[in-house]
A = this chain, B = another copy of it.
Amino acid sequence: MLTELFTPSVQHALDVVGIFFFAISGALLAVRKNFDVFGIAVLAEVTALGGGIFRDVIIGAVPPAAFTDLGYFLTPLFAAGLVFFLHPHVERIQVGVNVFDAAGLGLFAVSGTTKAYDYGLGLTASVALGLATAVGGGVLRDVLANEVPSLLRWDRDLYAVPALVGASMVGLCIQFDVLNGWSTGFAVVTGFVLRLLAMRFHWRAPRAYNRRSASGEEGAAAT
């Protein structure tokens, strides 16, 4: 079992930490959208657990871990409560929240990839599902809040690429049979650091060719 690279209790603790910070990001968006306390709780749950539930439904691991592990379910409620009572303070430490969200991103990308591979998916599909695990909750959060998912927008710092790099490193480690606690941890940290750098230096991804140059725009207009 690949997922036993970490001891179960360490894996579980890391999962709960990732869930907690994803839930904070969902709850903060709910406050900004002026939702009530139940809207805050729902958006926290969806953001934190959505990616994992999608992964588990796809690989046939039902009921999903989010519904069988009480800790997974209660953590977002705790995060929602914190935001509900303390949100000016939580906003003030937005940088801190972003750092922990980046940690969750790296962790979920890696654990999603290993769990998908454990359930028999191919390497490429496992990496894709690891990416979906990491970013899925945020996409659901934005869809429910009736906004264009920030994952898709060109004016946001890179989010998918760090997760994709982390997941791909796990895929390569599996391919070359060098997956162990150290290489897994290295993949998590790589995804985490890349996301931090993307936020620090505002890395953006390019848009389609003719939208980047005036001549391209003219070319499009002339068609």
Q: How many copies does the complex hold?
A: 3
Q: How far is the CB of A206 from chain B (nearest CB, A)?
A: 6
Measured in the bound complex, the distance between the Cα atoms of B59 and A139 in whole Å is 23
Inside 8 A of A74's CB, which chain B residues have their CB? Answer: 124
A204 at the interface (CB under 8 A from B): yes
- A67-B128, A73-B128 known; A91 vs B220 contact (CB < 8 Å): yes
Inside 8 A of A78's CB, which chain B residues have their CB? Answer: none
A181 at the interface (CB under 8 A from B): no
Inside 8 A of A182's CB, which chain B residues have their CB? Answer: none
Q: Which residue of B lies closest to A129 (CB)?
A: B67
A186 at the interface (CB under 8 A from B): no
Stretch with Cβ within 8 A of B (4 or more), from A4-12, A80-88, A101-109, A191-199:
A80-88
Inside 8 A of A73's CB, which chain B residues have their CB? Answer: 124-125, 128
Measured in the bound complex, the distance between the Cα atoms of B73 and A12 in whole Å is 31
- A36-B154, A119-B63 known; A146 vs B147 contact (CB < 8 Å): yes
User: Scoring A residues 29 to 50 as 1 if CB is less than 8 Å from chain B, else 0, what string do you get?
Assistant: 0110111111110110000000
CB distance A152 to B208 under 8 Å?
no
Stretch with Cβ within 8 A of B (4 or more), from A15-23, A169-177, A209-217:
A209-217
Q: Which 10 pairs between the two chains have the least Cβ-Cβ distance?
A: A39-B152, A36-B154, A36-B205, A60-B62, A67-B125, A88-B220, A31-B208, A146-B148, A35-B152, A38-B160
19 contacts between A and B (CB under 8 A): A30-B152, A34-B154, A35-B152, A35-B207, A38-B152, A38-B205, A42-B152, A42-B160, A63-B121, A67-B122, A70-B125, A73-B128, A86-B209, A87-B210, A88-B210, A88-B216, A144-B148, A145-B152, A146-B148
